[in-house]
Amino acid sequence: MQPKGIASFPYLKPIQGQGTVKFSFIDVPQIHNKGNVTGLFFTTPFILFAGIPIISMFLRKKSETTPDSSSHTTFIYKWTSTSLFGSFLLGFASLLAYYWVQIRFLADCISPLLLLSVLGFWQGYQALNSKPTSRRIYLFIGISLIVVSIVISSLLACYVNAYEFRTFDTGF
C-alpha cells in the first residue's frame, strides 16, 4: 500500500490496514485491530536491487554449482546470496501466519533483504565495468534509491511516533 501525502510534517502517513473479520459473530480482542501498513517497495525502494542476485541464482549454469579452486569466491558469493534470500523468505513466511500484520513486524525479515540488495547493487556495478557512462547512471540511480529509502522510512517513523514527539517534555 502506498503511503498517503499530508500537508504538515512529516508529509507522509501510512495507510490503515484494510480487511474485514471473516466471522463477524466472533468478538475479537482490541489487540487484534489493524495497524498502519505501507508497502515494502514504497518504504524501501532500494530493495529492487535484491532482484539482481536472485535472478542470477536462477539463471546460473549447472557447471557453476560445483566449486573449484578458481571459482571459490563466486561460490561463496552465491552461497551468501542464497542464504540471505532463504533467510528473508523464512522470516516473511512467518509474517503470513499472523492475524493482523503491522509494519513493525517487517523489522524481523528486512535485514537479510537489505544485505541482499547491497550485494545486488555491487553485482550490477561490477557488471557495468566496461561501460563507464552506464556505470555512472547506475551509481546515481542506486544512491538516489538509498537516499529515498532513508528519507521515506524516517518520515513514516516520525508520523507513527508523532504523538510521543508532541508529549515529549524537554524540561526547559
Residue 169 lies in a domain: no
Q: What is the per-residue pLDDT across 10-46, written as a single tens digit (0 to 9) for each?
A: 777 776 655 555 666 666 666 665 666 677 788 889 9
Task: Let me know if residue 23 belongs to a domain.
Answer: no
Is the residue at 22 inside a domain?
A: no
Alpha-carbon distance 129 to 146, whole Å? 21
> Does residue 26 fall inside a structural domain?
no
For residues 135-152, average pLDDT? 94
Residue-range definition of the domain harbouring residue 147: 4-17+31-161
Whether residue 125 is contained in a domain is answered as yes
In a domain, 170, yes or no: no
Tally of domains in the chain: 1
Domain assignment present for 94:
yes
Nearest to 117 by CA among 41, 59, 60: 41
Determine which of 20-24, 89-93, 126-130 has the lowest per-residue pLDDT on average. Answer: 20-24
| 64 has a pLDDT exceeding 60 | no
Instruction: Answer whether 44's CB lies under 8 Å from 33's CB.
Output: no
Residue 67 binned pLDDT confidence (cut-offs 50, 70, 90): very low
Per the domain annotation, does 98 fall within a domain? yes
